[in-house]
Amino acid sequence: MSPAHLPATLRVLSLLVLLPGCLRDHPQEDGVYALRATDVERDGCGLVGPDGDLGEIELARHGNDMHGWLSIHGIALQGRYLQAVEAFRIAGDAASVSTELEGRACTVPLVQATLEAETTLTGERANAAFTGTLHLAYRSPLDAACACELRAGVEGTLLPITP
119 CB burial (10 A radius; 0-12, 13-18, 19+): buried
What predicted TM-score, i.e. pTM, was given to this entire model? 0.80
Q: Find the distance separating the first CA and the last CA of the chain, reported in whole Å.
A: 59
Quick: pLDDT tens for 41-99: 999 999 998 899 999 999 998 888 999 999 999 999 999 988 767 899 999 999 999 99
50 CB burial (10 A radius; 0-12, 13-18, 19+): exposed
User: For residues 54 and 95, is the Cβ–Cβ distance under 8 A?
Assistant: no
Q: What is the mean pLDDT of residues 136-156?
A: 95
Write down the pLDDT at residue 19: 47
Quick: pLDDT tens for 3-32: 554 555 544 444 444 444 455 566 678 889
Q: Does domain 25-158 have CATH number 2.60.40?
A: no
User: For residues 47 and 79, is the Cβ–Cβ distance under 8 A?
Assistant: no
